Amino acid sequence: MAVLREFPIDARAMMRRMRWLIAILLCACSDGAAPHADAPTTHPDVNVAACGAIGMACTTTCPNNLECISSNVCAPVRGSCGGFAGAMCQDTSLTCVYPTGSSAGHCMRSDEKECLCAIAPNAAADCMQP
């Protein structure tokens, strides 16, 4: 025969435990790294003359092996990333840049991203705004 013992319940101790539980749940469930929202708010110093046609407006084609991406600007595309699966660039030295309004991104070097953002700041969702 099982004997159930009654344990005295201290309301203050129970409240402390509940607060700790809520704090742990909030920390565990928070989104600590949003993919598009962590860009700095200052413009880097970019030598725009060295950017070539990066950031130039386009409709279908671009010069110098650049591609016309979905935001209608010329950009270097060194692979694809992002999308539903949140794929990373296979070359870890590249950065995934997301065109405005798209979850699919394009891999490019950080200096190429700086050119794109300096010349066409609305082209990518994660460009640094002035």
All structural domains of the chain with their residue ranges: 48-119
pLDDT exceeds cutoff 90 at 109? yes
CB atoms within 10 A of CB 118: 20
pTM: 0.61
**How many angstroms separate the Cα of 81 from the Cα of each of 102, 121, 128?**
11, 20, 20
Q: What is the pLDDT of residue 91?
A: 92
What is the average per-residue pLDDT within 76-96? 89
Is pLDDT larger for residue 42 or for residue 92? 92
Sheet strands (E) in the chain? 67-68, 74-75, 80-82, 95-97, 104-108
Helix (H, G, I), strand (E, B) or coil at 79: coil
Is pLDDT larger for residue 11 or for residue 63? 63
